[in-house]
Structure 1
Amino acid sequence: MKQDALNKQIWLIETILQQDGITLKEIKEKWLKSYLNDEQKDFDRSTFNRYRNTIQDIFGISIICQNSKYYIDNKEDIQNNILKKWILNSFTISNFLQEWKPLYHRISLEDIPSGREYLRDIMEAMRQNRQISISYQRFQNDIEKHYVLAPYGVKIFKQRWYVVGFCSELKDIRIFGLDRILKLQRTTEKFKFPTDFNLELFFSSSFGVFTDKQIERVVLKTNEEKMKYLQSLPLHHSQKEIKTEDNYTFFEYFLRPTYDFRQEILSHGAEIEVLSPNWFREEIQQIVAEMHKFYS
């Protein structure tokens, strides 16, 4: 599909999403003002219907009509489907940057430099259900190790890409950072993708990429300013506000208190206090005490 047509379809999705019902006439009026319509062409019904069908086929997004107004039928599905939302947001940002091209020097975006050169090979191996062979070196040492992996999926976290899959040598599902891969090769060996494996479910109880802890109830105490921050951007989908007293708010989570989660808590400094579980609170205390030595 041509990029121009794809951009217009993303524009149509966004235009309908932003309205509580919109008529074709209103869509046409907005199209006449769009930066994508540099030729000032009309958005006729046949084009609309063609894009509507393509959007359903490619993105699985249904545009329905009720009382002459158009709506996104499965808006909640878009919000709940992380991959669909990520793809849609990526294209939307691309369109946004094209629209405001003269302001490029005033827009700063995060780069994701790690391991991009391996993504295409991994995705192709996933598509063909073929194993990959990797040479891997952890940040903690200079030892190069070799693994054969059945790639189940990929995940991005904190500007780093990770591949998740069954490792033949370790006989378990493992996670490898792409920025620690020294060499990657697709093999001719095929694997059977387990039908009961769900990547989103695999990480659902984790913050980040580590899964090496048991799921526990975690309670955090925050000040008023941080409370608003967490309300607008929850740390985890299990986040629940349980009470507010004396200008402090208490949040409850059910997750794995892993290294990634610990680092996130520490990044908020004195604005977040861990109340439970006790072992996790003591772990944070110990790290804070070590840090205090550096500055005392």
Structure 2
Amino acid sequence: MKDQFKKYLWILDLLYSSGGITFKEMAEKWKDSSLNDRKTILAKRTFDDYRRAIEETFNVDIICDASRGYQYRIDNARSLSTDRIKRWLLSSFAVNNVLQGSRRLSERIIYEDIPSGNDYLLEVVKAMQDGKVISVEYDNFFESTPKQLLIEPYCVKVFRQRWYVVGKAKGEKVIWRWALDRFLSLEITDKKFRLPKDFYADIYFNDAFGVIVDPDECKVETIRLKAYSENHRDDYLRHLPLHSSQREVERGEGYTIFELRVRPAYDFCQELLSYGEEVEVLSPQYVRDYITDRIRKSLSRYKV
């Protein structure tokens, strides 16, 4: 399955980067592809099967344009350039393709490692595509023994070098998240589920900094941050915002004040703490107090 998905990406990348290509040209390129280690021939029937699977998986339309010499091309290619996940998949695959053809170059490009969650990612995506429940053995940090869970996988998200699956576990009413690198085993069951009509992954995470979305425990707040110019922290935040809602509201000598609408959950507060003295929380007061308390506890570790 993993190799098949790579072939989908190979064809999609070829169609996207070329702007249009005939089947004959595609078959010739397949002969020299790093994925084709057995030097097989790309059959027209196989391509047609892959084409339908690509259209369904990536929500694109692949047409055969007779006016351009029967070239295959992506009819709605703009959807790939505007969709973050599709763009990320294509760019990652394109880089990997280059590395396959140049060993010396591969030693000069360093990826951020993502742990073993990758082993289960494609299976989770397959279960999402088929609307099937997954059975997993989950090793939670907060419990002494692993748990067996039946999960309806709604979506997946990568954050801080970890892949997460988001959905509902059997017997639970709330949507939750599970880190794929904590999975000890995974099996796609025959049990079907329907994605709730009112669930949209982008909307669900709209007010989140990372993966923590606990509406009952952490409401959306307007956060005011003062970033100091020492070490150019304000410049870094200006060019790499913490959240899509971030905006600059004041700039003074040696500082910039930013506002953003976000849930000040644990992962967000951890990010602020990582900036040390370079960023100060101005409001709301309870978030400022929380950060202050964490700094005091940190200092106590060092007997200060």
Alignment of 1:277-296 (within 5 A): 277-295=284-302, 296=304
- In the other structure, the counterpart of 1:220 is 225
CA positional deviation for 1:3: 7.1
Change (3 A) 1:221 1:114: farther
| Deviations 1:19-65, CA, capped at 9 Å, x for gaps | xxxxxxxxxxxxxxxxx9xxxxxxxxxxxxxxxxx8x9667499xxx
CA positional deviation for 1:96: 4.7
Higher mean C-alpha deviation, range 204-213 or range 104-113: 104-113
TM-score (norm 1): 0.74
Higher mean C-alpha deviation, range 283-292 or range 101-110: 101-110
CA positional deviation for 1:204: 1.0
Mapped to 2, the partners of 1:176 and 1:249 lie a distance apart of 36
The alignment partner of 1:172 has SS state of coil
Change (3 A) 1:92 1:194: same
Mapped to 2, the partners of 1:187 and 1:3 lie a distance apart of 26
Provide structure 2 residue ranges, at least 5 long, that are not aligned to the other structure: 1-6, 20-32, 34-50, 63-73
CA positional deviation for 1:118: 1.7
Identify the match of residue 123 of structure 1 among 113, 122, 125: 125
Matched, 1:205 2:212: no
CA positional deviation for 1:78: 5.1
| Deviations 1:87-110, CA, capped at 9 Å, x for gaps | 232233224535764232222211
CA positional deviation for 1:117: 1.9
Change (3 A) 1:288 1:4: closer
| Deviations 1:158-215, CA, capped at 9 Å, x for gaps | 1101111122222221111112222222221111122221111111100111012110
Matched, 1:251 2:253: no
Tell whether the 8 Å contact from 2:137 to 2:149 is kept in structure 1 after alignment: yes
Mapped to 1, the partners of 2:157 and 2:95 lie a distance apart of 20
Tell whether the 8 Å contact from 1:114 to 1:161 is kept in structure 2 after alignment: no
The alignment partner of 1:107 has SS state of coil
Matched, 1:265 2:266: no
Identify the match of residue 178 of structure 2 among 176, 180, 203: 176
Mapped to 2, the partners of 1:74 and 1:134 lie a distance apart of 37
Q: Structure 1: which amino acid aligns with 2:227? A: T
CA positional deviation for 1:129: 0.7
Q: Structure 1: which amino acid aligns with 2:253? A: D
Calculate the aligned-residue CA RMSD, in Å. Answer: 3.1
The size of the alignment, in residue pairs, is 250
Mapped to 1, the partners of 2:94 and 2:228 lie a distance apart of 35
Provide structure 1 residue ranges, at least 5 long, that are not aligned to the other structure: 14-35, 37-53, 63-71
Q: Structure 2: which amino acid aligns with 1:215? A: V
Higher mean C-alpha deviation, range 222-231 or range 254-263: 222-231
